[in-house]
Amino acid sequence: MKKIVFFLSLLLVAACSHSEILYDGAPLKIAVIGSSPELNNEKIHFESISLDEFSEDTLRISTNFDAVMITPVMFEKASDDKYVDLYNHSEMPIIFFNSPKQHYPFARGGITYETAHWESLNNGSHTTIYLYNIDAFREDAWYFYLKDEKELDLLYKEIFQKVEMLLYW
């Protein structure tokens, strides 16, 4: 009986533990709109904010965070046309995490995440980092791919490395 209890305890601890991400770059502070990732890395700090908070206090958010991550639970609301200018005038990278429709439903008016045709937008990517360069009047987007769910930690590492690179760009 003790062995069973011990084994079940180990399973519970393993199930509740956060994924270990082997990112060893500069410390990053990322604002999250939606569900915060459950990651374990002392150099990555997530803080939940609302979409309205990002919209209403963009200067404070861009001053206090290195990037904004938007997760699937917020995609439909985040793709509302009233936020298009927010994404196209933000001075920080925006991570559309797990968006096969990339950044298009968010950075373009007249479509929402639901109405965007997936077939025409999907290049097989899992996540997109979007940054509009106001001075050059151009948008930059970087795409990240996930071939296997077992490689999610590598995907996060690549995303964080790109955010770090963009800090010094």
- Whole-structure pTM value: 0.85
Residue type, 133: N
pLDDT at residue 5, rounded to an integer: 34
**Residue in 103, 104, 90, 95 with CA at minimum distance from that of residue 159:** 95
- Whole-number Å distance between alpha carbons of 165 and 71: 22
pLDDT at residue 117, rounded to an integer: 78
pLDDT at residue 120, rounded to an integer: 59
Task: State which H helix or E strand residue 129 sits in.
Answer: strand 127-133
Query: 10-residue block means of pLDDT along the chain (169 residues)?
Result: 38 49 94 95 96 94 96 97 94 95 92 80 86 84 93 95 92
- Whole-number Å distance between alpha carbons of 101 and 104: 7
**Residue in 129, 133, 131, 84 with CA at minimum distance from that of residue 106:** 84
Q: How many CB atoms lie within 10 A of CB 163?
A: 24
Write out the residue range of the structural domain in which residue 94 sits. Answer: 2-167
**Residue 40 — φ and ψ, nearest 5°?**
-120, 100
Domain count, the chain: 1
DSSP assigned state of 69:
E
pLDDT at residue 134, rounded to an integer: 76
